[in-house]
Structure 1
Amino acid sequence: MQFFAAVFAAIALAAPVLASPAPLRTVEKFNGKTSGKFIVKLKEGVVKSKVFAQLKNSNVTHDWSVIHGFAGHLSDEALHTLRASPDVEYITEDGIATTFATQTNAPWGLARISQPGRLTNQNADALTFSYTYDDSAGAGVDVYVVDTGVYTGHSTFGGRARWGATFGGYPDADGNGHGTHVAGTVGGSQYGVAKAVSIIAVKVLGDDGSGAITG
């Protein structure tokens, strides 16, 4: 009896261990936009065809030889299977990479918003700073500058500025300069944050820089 009791006790202790599934592999996240696909790196020696056969309702779009892995659109079931598989080395989201442009004659303010570290040059009047930005630069985006108007013919806008509307009976022109300054900060070629946006002037303030709330 003591023997059988010991055996049953051993089985009872082992059962929870045997029943516990291995933790699922973490999918590495991409910091930015993704394509919706996943990149899967297999361990050396693993036969890809056997792995592919387990991927239900999925589409392998890239089968690489340089690295022992593949990429594709994976169903939730297929992703779960791969996360639980001992044949997988890692899984990561397929990120979308973009190029960047750098302006080397930028003012201090632009350099400040594109660099996390402290700027060594503290001469705020110098145009010797670097400003790095996504090279799309806001192309395709309309920015409405609601202010004193915008001098749409200014060379800094490169033909990207146009008049939108005027409210309050004012002339369709910026007789103050504030609106043009704001538009230049938004999308001017020299001082602008987003250098390819379209600027649309909406005048609601007079040439003295003021206007009634009621218009």
Structure 2
Amino acid sequence: MRRKRLMAVFASASLALVPFLTAAPSASAAAQTGGYIVVLKDGAEPSSVAAEQTKARGGTLRHVYRSALKGYSARLTAAAAARLAKDPRVQSVEPDREVSITAQTLPTGINRIDAELSPTAKINGIDERVDVDVAVIDTGIQLNHPDLNVYTAGARNCSTGSSANDGNGHGTHVAGTIGALDNNIGVVGVAPGARLWPVRVLNNSGNGTWSQIICGVDYVTAHANEIEVANMSLGGTGTEGTSCSSSSLRQAICNSVNAGVTYVVAAGNSYANANGFVPATYPEVITVSALADFNGAPGGGASPTCRSDQDDTFADFSNYGSDVDLIAPGVCIYSTYIGSSYATLSGTSMASPHVAGAAALYKATHPSASPAAVKAALQSAGNYGWIWPSQDPDGIQEKLLNVSTF
């Protein structure tokens, strides 16, 4: 059984300041009972004064404060609170207010692929983590981001330095789309709480070499008995070749796939045929193009947000062609970022992790499924519910990722 890694999650709350009660309420409001916070002046003993004042005004004492301030909270009618404000021992009477943890955002991409309907994802604000391991082959991941379940023991740096901590932000953003925690803060990912392995192959500028990427693939393959899915939101020019031995990179990925790891990769952002880019052109991987979606809903018509494009259509930068296996949201995607923060980014780099998260959901319930079976399942569950052929020049409509049944 896999070891579960737990991390502390902190949520913040804020209380808006309101004017102190200085005037008598209307007659209709005077009889309504509500919560009030009473601050006493120096010299007043909180316990005895609180009990006396509350009883005299027919209220219910709740809390007595002795350290952070001198005072108490009570349930009172509005008329009683108004009278209490005139007591010479009282500094202020303030209506009580509700507070809550900072709300979690359901990103448009997560909404568009119906991840909130997935019985495995169980997106409900409760931190129940999907039991699956995903390698993020990228710029690293912020190792201590409070909204991510980063498996730091599995970190590997094939780029510069020794730490797999993210110095760019790209990898952390990708990681959040895959598996940000369902913890009522920040955002939530497709496979909430999935264990994320930071495999750094790119430097702080987002650049690297094929040898570094192969180093990352080699590391993932060495842990193929633990890692089910790997995301590669990166690429460069190149061709498929005629077989797995056509190039060292393809050979490495073929061997990793044969070891059982499902690879999901970005199609590229050159608005060109993906057959001129690697690893996007490799048949062993799941290649993902980008959908422009601004409101998380089908049908089009939503106004652009972070960049210009047409809602619910093929993104105007995305690569295309017969090598593309699925399309997923990739425009104005809100996700985790370095500095324990959040950011909005666009690209097929943002589309790919939606599919990697979907693959993780499927593997969580089908642990013996081969990479080919995972690809087939994701394609079978997809739909054509997006506007086509606008901006898609290849005459092939890819299925849009959907995980509602996963």
Coarse TM-score class (shorter-chain normalised): 0.3 to 0.5
TM-score by length of 2: 0.22
TM-score by length of 1: 0.40
